[in-house]
């Protein structure tokens, strides 16, 4: 997998970009801001609207706060919340999609109608409405995004599990009285997980764009929390006077989104069934059954 990703220049760019921002994010969290060159919160009215320089590589904002420090402080929010949102949504999708595909009947009907109901509303509008109702809080904005983010994963997993359930080796497992959990763990999950992983890698960038839009519209993000979209929103009237105050956080968002997109493409190529020596992961009971009949 690593060889396939690194053999593609764009995928390599995505891997390096994502790794860099993740390292900076983790360092910022673990150091509690010790890696910052300046305070991200303390105004300095003697250094208002300074252009980028060696002392302030990203310049300063309308309150004299160092832009580089604020961008670094925003990374745990702008990368952490999308990753948490996608991870929890994928877990919900795996559970509900697997149950719906295996048990069918009324359970499948309820899960799919609920999924259709949530997907009928535009994701951004629904996230804005929930975040505005719950009030400004990082927990609330994360919760509002998870609520609207899980339905595509249910559809993705359900379709994959339905295809797997029709395979002969699953029928063999059922004939051997294998438990539902054993079949899911050995047959279903190993075969749908690569697809979910590829989709989730791309989806982190989409979640980041949604979060930045919420921040730009000042919905859900607390005023005291530096966030890249909120940073752009606060200085839009300075576009022609101090364009770097808008361009820098916007470019950071674009680079992170591009990084996850290119990385997702590399993951997709490395996990593509055409590139793997086998198409489906077969479980132990199926192998035992085949060996007994040789």
Give the largest Cα separation in the chain, rounded.
Answer: 84
Q: Contact, 120 vs 151, CB < 8 A?
A: no
Q: What pLDDT score does 151 carry?
A: 94
**Strand locations in 207-271, DSSP E?**
none
- How sure is the predictor about 241, in pLDDT bands with cuts at 50, 70 and 90? confident
Distance CA 192, CA 158 (A): 9
Domain boundaries, given as residue ranges, for the chain: 2-292
**Which of these ranges, 147-156, 172-181, 209-218, 241-250, has the smallest mean pLDDT?**
172-181
Distance CA 49, CA 244 (A): 10
CATH (residue range 2-292): 1.10.3720.10
- Tokens at residue 268, please? 């997709």
Residue in 174, 198, 199 with CA at minimum distance from that of residue 188? 174
**Which pLDDT tens digit goes with each residue over 18-37?**
999 999 999 999 998 899 99
Return phi, psi of residue 142, to 5°: -65, -45
Q: What pLDDT score does 117 carry?
A: 92
Q: What pLDDT score does 164 carry?
A: 79
Residue in 215, 213, 248, 211 with CA at minimum distance from that of residue 230? 215
Distance CA 139, CA 220 (A): 9
pLDDT at residue 235 tops 70: yes
pLDDT at residue 275 tops 90: no
What value does the mean pLDDT take over residues 35-48? 89
Residue in 153, 202, 204, 197 with CA at minimum distance from that of residue 11? 202
Q: Helix and strand tally (H, E) in the chain?
A: 13, 0
Q: Contact, 70 vs 225, CB < 8 A?
A: no
What is the CA 25 to chain-centroid distance, rounded?
15
Residues written for the chain:
294
The Cα-based distances of 148 to 40, 67, 123, 141 in angstroms read 31, 32, 6, 11
Q: What pLDDT score does 287 carry?
A: 47
Q: What pLDDT score does 278 carry?
A: 40
Q: Contact, 71 vs 252, CB < 8 A?
A: yes
């Amino acid at each position: 997998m690593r060889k396939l990703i690194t053999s593609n220049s764009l995928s390599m760019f995505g891997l390096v970009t994502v790794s860099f921002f993740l390292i900076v994010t983790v360092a910022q969290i673990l150091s509690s801001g010790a890696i910052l060159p300046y305070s991200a919160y303390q105004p300095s009215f003697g250094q208002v609207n300074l252009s980028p320089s060696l002392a302030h590589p990203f310049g300063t904002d309308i309150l004299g706060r160092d832009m580089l420090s604020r961008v670094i402080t925003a990374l745990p929010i702008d990368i952490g919340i999308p990753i948490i949102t996608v991870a929890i949504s994928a877990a919900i999708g795996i559970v509900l999609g697997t149950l719906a595909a295996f048990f069918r009947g009324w359970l499948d009907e309820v899960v799919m109608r609920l999924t259709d109901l949530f997907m009928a509303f535009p994701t951004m509008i629904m996230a804005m409405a929930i975040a505005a109702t719950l009030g400004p809080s990082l927990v609330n904005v994360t919760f509002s995004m998870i609520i609207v983010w899980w339905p595509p994963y249910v559809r993705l997993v359900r379709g994959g599990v339905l295809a797997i359930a029709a395979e002969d080796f699953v029928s063999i497992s059922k004939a051997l009285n294998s438990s539902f959990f054993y079949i899911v763990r050995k047959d279903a999950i190993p075969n749908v997980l690569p697809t979910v992983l590829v989709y989730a890698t791309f989806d982190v960038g989409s979640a980041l764009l949604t979060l930045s839009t919420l921040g730009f519209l000042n919905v859900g993000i607390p005023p005291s929390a530096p966030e890249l979209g909120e940073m752009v929103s606060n200085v839009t009237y300075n576009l022609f006077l101090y364009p770097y105050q808008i361009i820098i956080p916007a470019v950071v968002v674009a680079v992170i989104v591009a990084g996850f997109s290119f990385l997702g493409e590399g993951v997709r190529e490395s996990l593509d069934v055409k590139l793997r020596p086998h198409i489906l992961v077969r479980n132990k009971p199926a192998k035992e059954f085949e060996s007994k009949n040789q």
